[in-house]
Amino acid sequence: MSVYDFVVKANNGEEKSLAEYKGKVLLIVNTASKCGFTPQFKELQELYVKYKDQGLVILGFPCNQFAGQEPGSNEEVQEFCRFNYGVTFPIFAKGDVRGENAQPLFLYLTKEQGFKGFDADHPYAELLSNALKENFPEYLEGDSIKWNFTKFLVDRNGQVIARFEPTASMDRVAACVQDCLK
C-alpha cells in the first residue's frame, strides 16, 4: 500500500486520486487559517517554489478539529491562503484528520509514521504540550495528529518516510525534502 491508493476531495468537492502524483515527492500537511502555526504557509510556499521543478508537491488539507481554527468554507480557505500567503500549491477540501471521521489518508499516514514528540527547541513546544494536557489530553494518546501543521514526507514511490510535528523547524523539513529529491 502507498499514498497512491487514496482518493481525496479537492477544494471544489471533486474526487482526486493521489496516483496523479506518482513519481513526485509529497509533503502532506493538515492546515488551519487561524492557528499560531498559520504563518508556516509562507515557509511552505517558499519551499514549494524552490523545489517544485525538482518534483516536490505540497498538499494542504484544512482541518477544523483543533479548537475550531479553520472555520471558513472551502472557498474561504482557498482565498485566505492565496491572498495572505500567496499559496499556489494544492489546497484540498476541509476534513477531519483524526478520530472516527478521519480521512482514510490521514489514518494511513499516522499508522506509517507515529508521533515521536514535539521538537523541544521550538518556542511553542512547551506551550502546545501544556495546552493539550490541559484542554485536550486525549489528543496526546497514540499516534494520531496532535495539532495543525503536522507534515508527512512521502518519497517518489509513495512511501511515508518522515513525520514533522508543527514544532519542527522548516530548515529541518527542507533538509529532508532536499535529501528525498536526490
Residues carrying an active site annotation:
35
Rounded Cα distance between 65 and 87, Å, is 22
Q: Position of cell 500567496?
A: 86
Dihedral, CA atoms, 101, 57, 44, 76, nearest 10 degrees? -50
Amino acid making up residue 83: F
Q: Are 1 and 105 in contact (CB under 8 A)?
A: no
Helix locations, 14-144, DSSP H: 40-51, 74-85, 104-112, 125-135
Rounded Cα distance between 166 and 64, Å, is 16
E-strand spans in the chain? Answer: 7-9, 15-17, 25-31, 56-62, 151-154, 160-164
In sequence order, the 6+-apart residues with CB closer than 8 A to the CB of 164 are 150, 151, 152, 153, 172, 173, 176
